[in-house]
């Protein structure tokens, strides 16, 4: 018997769309049939392949559910001082690898974070932001039925000081090194150099009622199945070698196109993250994740099962955030786990493919303030996005990944070119 299942080159090729297909339902039907055919040609069935990832994920779900029932903290927590000194224990590293998320305690001194928070208030108030605010710039989160309390502000001195700080670079390098920066004979990114991905801030006031933000993920939408680069990145899911699927392998993810959207991420991020600018208790409408990195394999294969309509990718479509939910992913939803109590100056991180949400809250105690700063290491994708970031930085515009709101163009007290340090210049590709 010839085992073609181990010769990936002879498997049927996949159609691909490097820009969003004009007829989405037709393209979804076509790619689903092609993915199934490819898996079948490897000698396995879709059901069999899905079962492998389901087993792997179930083990983690049970473990997390047991920890939660026992009142344990599911999220790994590591002190900044240990990261800086290189004294993070093997057990802590193993837990980070298993859970794919992390709280860094004391990433910044608490007073510094609180100072940044009040500097941001001064920055927006001195520029009459609240009088001029025109409402949300898009409906990107419409598919999960809620809206965040986000300020579309990118270029405050506080944000830029944090982005270019040595402490941020230390944590980013640590997180990047959890990934295999090299695989298949290629070095995919430079773990020691960040690209200063500019994102927004969230400030949710005391007493706030909020619906939170439904469970979703950020790495892309239909492009995850439909572009050639992502088909190669997720190759092990579709060629019968699912046992080799590694959520920490960046192969083929650090170049290649992303489908456009009014809110998107052109950058490759190893981890999403934010830095706390206020203390936040764990029951005050905080971030949750499904802390299982390999759940991405489950999410990618789930639409291929026979109970999903032929022209449906479990609700994923272009220009809307990728939803995760009880309808299609009840197993994963069981593992949804919130962060522990956070102090201003702590930072919170989660693997770029990970499902996350913000819990609802009524009459919130204390503020809920964060600045979003991810780990986005230097690579071809981030280098190319850095060109438009430089332009946005110089003109005070909204970065091109975000709605075209441009509040800060006339704000005289925004962070300036001369305020950049070496990390800042390198991150923007200016050195």
| C-beta of residue 353 within 8 angstroms of C-beta of residue 302 | no
The length of the chain is 431
Residue with smallest beta-carbon separation from Fe ion: 218
Q: Which CB atom, from 141 or from 415, has the smaller least distance to Fe ion?
A: 141
Interacting positions 92-131 with Fe ion (CB under 5 A): none
CA 243 to chain centre: 24
30 contacts Fe ion (rule: CB under 5 A): no
In sequence order, the 6+-apart residues with CB closer than 8 A to the CB of 11 are 4, 38, 41, 42, 239, 240
Q: Which CB atom, from 129 or from 372, has the smaller least distance to Fe ion?
A: 372
Q: Which CB atom, from 161 or from 263, has the smaller least distance to Fe ion?
A: 263
Q: Which CB atom, from 46 or from 153, has the smaller least distance to Fe ion?
A: 153
Say how many Å lie between the first and final Cα of the chain, rounded: 58
Q: Which stretch binds Fe ion (CB under 5 A): 53-61, 133-141, 216-224, 291-299?
A: 216-224
Cα separation, 47 vs 79, whole angstroms: 42
Q: Which stretch binds Fe ion (CB under 5 A): 9-17, 59-67, 218-226, 367-375?
A: 218-226
Angle between helices 24-41 and 46-69 in degrees, nearest 10: 100
Number of shown-chain residues binding Fe ion (CB under 5 A):
1
> Least distance to Fe ion from the beta carbon of 87, Å?
32
Cα separation, 272 vs 213, whole angstroms: 16
Q: Which stretch binds Fe ion (CB under 5 A): 16-24, 50-58, 217-225, 343-351?
A: 217-225
> Least distance to Fe ion from the beta carbon of 218, Å?
4
Cα separation, 325 vs 267, whole angstroms: 25
Q: Which CB atom, from 218 or from 353, has the smaller least distance to Fe ion?
A: 218
> Least distance to Fe ion from the beta carbon of 216, Å?
6
> HEC string of 355-384?
CEEECCECCCCCCEEEEECCECEECHHHHH
| Strand boundaries in 277-409, DSSP class E | 287-289, 322-323, 337-338, 347-351, 356-358, 368-372, 377-378
> Least distance to Fe ion from the beta carbon of 273, Å?
11
Q: What is the DSSP string of 115-128?
A: HHHHHHHHHHHHTT
Q: Which CB atom, from 202 or from 381, has the smaller least distance to Fe ion?
A: 202
- Find the farthest-apart pair of alpha carbons in the chain and give their distance in angstroms, rounded: 75
> Least distance to Fe ion from the beta carbon of 204, Å?
16
> Least distance to Fe ion from the beta carbon of 167, Å?
24
Q: Which stretch binds Fe ion (CB under 5 A): 164-172, 202-210, 211-219, 410-418?
A: 211-219
> Least distance to Fe ion from the beta carbon of 424, Å?
25
Q: Which stretch binds Fe ion (CB under 5 A): 44-52, 124-132, 139-147, 215-223?
A: 215-223
Residue 43: exposure state from Cβ atoms within 10 A (0-12, 13-18, ≥19)? middle
| C-beta of residue 49 within 8 angstroms of C-beta of residue 301 | yes
> Least distance to Fe ion from the beta carbon of 104, Å?
19
> Least distance to Fe ion from the beta carbon of 175, Å?
17
Interacting positions 31-90 with Fe ion (CB under 5 A): none
Q: Which of 30, 218, 239, 346 binds Fe ion (CB under 5 A)?
A: 218
Binding interface with Fe ion (CB under 5 A): 218
């Amino acid at each position: 018997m010839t085992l073609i299942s181990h010769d990936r080159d002879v498997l049927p090729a996949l159609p691909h769309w490097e820009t969003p297909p004009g007829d989405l339902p037709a393209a979804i039907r076509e790619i689903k049939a092609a993915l199934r055919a490819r898996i079948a040609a490897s000698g396995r069935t879709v059901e069999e392949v899905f079962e492998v990832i389901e087993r792997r994920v179930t083990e983690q779900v049970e473990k997390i559910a047991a920890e939660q029932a026992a009142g344990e903290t599911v999220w790994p927590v590591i002190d900044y001082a240990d990261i800086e000194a290189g004294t993070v224990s093997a057990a802590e590293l193993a837990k980070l690898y298993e859970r794919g998320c992390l709280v860094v305690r004391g990433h910044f001194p608490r007073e510094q974070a609180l100072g940044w928070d009040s500097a941001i208030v001064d920055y927006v108030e001195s520029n009459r932001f609240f009088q001029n605010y025109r409402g949300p710039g898009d409906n990107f989160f419409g598919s999960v039925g809620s809206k965040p309390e986000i300020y579309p502000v990118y270029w405050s001195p506080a944000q830029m000081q944090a982005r270019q700080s040595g402490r941020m670079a230390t944590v980013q390098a640590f997180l990047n090194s959890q990934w295999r920066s090299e695989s298949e004979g290629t070095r995919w990114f430079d773990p020691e150099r960040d690209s200063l991905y500019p994102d927004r801030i969230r400030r949710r006031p005391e007493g706030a009622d909020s619906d939170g933000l439904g469970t979703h993920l950020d790495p892309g939408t239909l492009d995850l199945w439909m572009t050639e680069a992502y088909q190669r990145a997720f190759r092990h899911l579709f060629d019968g070698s699912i046992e080799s699927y590694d959520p920490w392998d960046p192969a083929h993810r650090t170049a290649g196109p992303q489908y456009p959207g009014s809110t998107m991420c052109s950058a490759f991020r190893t981890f999403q993250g934010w830095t706390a600018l206020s203390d936040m208790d764990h029951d005050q409408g905080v971030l949750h994740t499904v802390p299982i990195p390999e759940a991405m394999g489950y999410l990618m294969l789930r639409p291929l099962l026979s109970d999903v309509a032929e022209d449906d990718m479990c609700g994923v479509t272009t220009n809307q955030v990728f939803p995760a939910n009880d309808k299609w992913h009840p197993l994963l939803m069981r593992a949804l786990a919130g962060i522990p109590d956070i102090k201003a100056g702590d930072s919170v991180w989660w693997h770029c493919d990970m499902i996350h949400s913000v819990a609802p809250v009524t009459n919130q105690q204390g503020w809920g303030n964060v600045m979003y700063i991810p780990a986005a290491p230097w690579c071809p994708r981030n280098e190319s996005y850095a060109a438009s970031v430089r332009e946005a930085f110089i003109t005070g515009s909204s970065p091109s990944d975000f709605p075209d709101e441009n509040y800060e163009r006339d704000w005289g007290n925004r962070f300036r070119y001369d305020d950049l340090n070496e990390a800042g210049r390198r991150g923007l590709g200016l050195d």
